[in-house]
Amino acid sequence: MKLLPGNETVLAIPAFLNPAGVPQMVHATTGAIAPIDSPTKAILDSYISKTTPNAANPTLGGNLSGAIRDDMALGLTGSETSTSRTITSVGRNEALTFFNFQANLTVFLDADRALSSASVYNLARISTRVQGLGYVLAHRLGRRNTDAAVVGEDWSYYYAETGQPVNGYGDGEEQTIALNFVPKNIVNIAAALGA
């Protein structure tokens, strides 16, 4: 038996809902889009390499992995179900209705908070400081966060909006921001990446 190394990647990919209600992820530089159920290697790679704010490429989002404290809660929780029955239902009936998940991340603050300061801490703060921004949070386990995406590897995707960032000032601790994303119940879990 071989254990995966404890490396993780979390990307915040700007997204919007199309008229059918399907989240569309936006490429960091080209503006190409892909739905949450068919992500592309090109879109993931465009954010894996984006680890600092960049005046030449002011797109929000990026690879927040290096800013996230190791107590993150990103994953599925109990899903919603319905026990409604028809007159022809036999026995007990239960159908899945919504996928619930939590997306609570805590990021560290940089001592230099100027917008031009090139750090992953500032990237995380700048990308999440406004409420209601749509993101697909892409999560990968077992590979360094700076490694390019690999066709066939598993990624999980969670569509959420930014909530109210909460500053943390622990006595004698680093300053942080709690990012409690608002889940929108649209997920694509452990999906093998296509080309």
Q: Residue 130 above 80 pLDDT? A: yes
User: 5 falls in which pLDDT band (50, 70, 90)?
Assistant: low
Looking at residues 107-125, what average pLDDT do you find? Answer: 83
For residue 55, pLDDT over 70 is answered with no
CB 154 within 8 A of CB 103: no
Cα–Cα distance list, 165 to 17, 104, 120, 125, 150 (Å) = 23, 10, 17, 9, 32
Strand order in the sheet with 73-76: 73-76, 101-108, 175-180, 166-169
Establish how many alpha carbons lie within 13 A of residue 180's alpha carbon, considering only the half-sphere containing its beta carbon. 6
The rounded distance, in Å, linking the Cα atoms of 195 and 191 is 13
Tokens linked to 19: 């008229």
Cα gap 127→119, rounded to integer Å: 12
Q: Higher confidence at residue 111 or residue 40? A: 40
| 92 against 47, higher pLDDT | 47
List the structure tokens of 15: 């997204």
pTM above 0.75, yes or no: yes
Nearest CA to 23 out of 14, 15, 31 is that of: 15
CA distance 179 to 74: 11
Contact yes or no for 125/113 (Cβ under 8 A)? yes
Handedness of CA 134, 19, 154, 184 (dihedral sign): positive
**Which pLDDT score is estimated for 141?**
92
Confidence of residue 17 (pLDDT cuts 50, 70, 90): very high
134-146 burial, b at 16+ Cβ within 10 Å, e below that, comes to bbbbbbbeebebe
